[in-house]
Amino acid sequence: MNARADPNPTNPGPGDVFIQGQPCTIAWDADSTGLWRNMTIELMTGDNFNMVDLTTVGTVDGTDPTKNTFSYTCPQVSPHSPIYFYQFTSSGSTGKTWTGRFTITDTPTNIVPPTESTQPDGSNIPWGTGSLIVGGSSILPQSTLSAISTALVGPPVSSTPSSSPASISASGSGAGSSSTPSVVVVTATATPSTASGQGTNGAMAMVSVSNLLWQTALALGVSAVGFTVMF
């Protein structure tokens, strides 16, 4: 890779292997221009022309020759292949510099070759595109699961309303009728937003129930009169 001189990365490079969960070490020759006091180190993947930033691993002073190494815990990645590298940038410079490609894996023997053998420009530099494995177990946080559940099925609906439903059943049949008696069930459920609304809805429910009972009684009376006239 075409690396710039300020600063000059010296480690890691091709052939280096790091184990997930163990220290990943980085080293460089310090910048002598004074422009890299705020140097950001990023874990990268991809080819030389379409680099993918996986994560920022640290920010250091790139001008201090006595502190020209950095170590952090290697992340979990996929695939376990020599397709990872670091990019150095600084807010005080427009330049960028890179390490060589190295491997991050779970065991030293579990290494797969890069998926690509040449760069987009034809250079014989193998590469591939990796990704971070966040969380390791691939289990989503409970808050995320709740959000997904709400989005799919909507908010939970309570089976018990805030105000008790009014249920009235009335049954009856014509005298001497052999048919199954009809049953009238009236259910009024009030879910007011205020106390005053509860009184209004309750009164309306009672009025509706009273009217229905009166109509039912009248119908039964008429049926009884008809039965008497016939016999």
Q: Which residues pair with 52 in a beta bridge?
A: 45
Which parts of the chain sit beneath pLDDT 50? 2-4, 137-150, 152-210, 214, 222-231
Structure tokens at 228: 């008497």
Please give the share of the chain, as a percent, with pLDDT higher than 70: 56
Q: How far apart are CA 81 and CA 112, in angstroms?
A: 5
**What per-residue confidence (pLDDT) applies to 56?**
98
- What is the per-residue pLDDT for 135? 74
* pTM attached to this predicted model: 0.58
Nearest to 89 by CA among 13, 11, 37: 37
pLDDT at 219: 52
For residue 168, what pLDDT is reported?
A: 32
The predicted structure's pLDDT at residue 5:
57
Cα separation, 218 vs 104, in Å, equals 87
Please report the pLDDT score of residue 175 as a whole number. 40
Which residue segments constitute the domains of the chain, with CATH numbers given?
8-129 (2.60.40)
The two three-digit tokens of residue 152, written as one number: 């799919």
- Which run of H or E residues covers position 46? strand 39-46
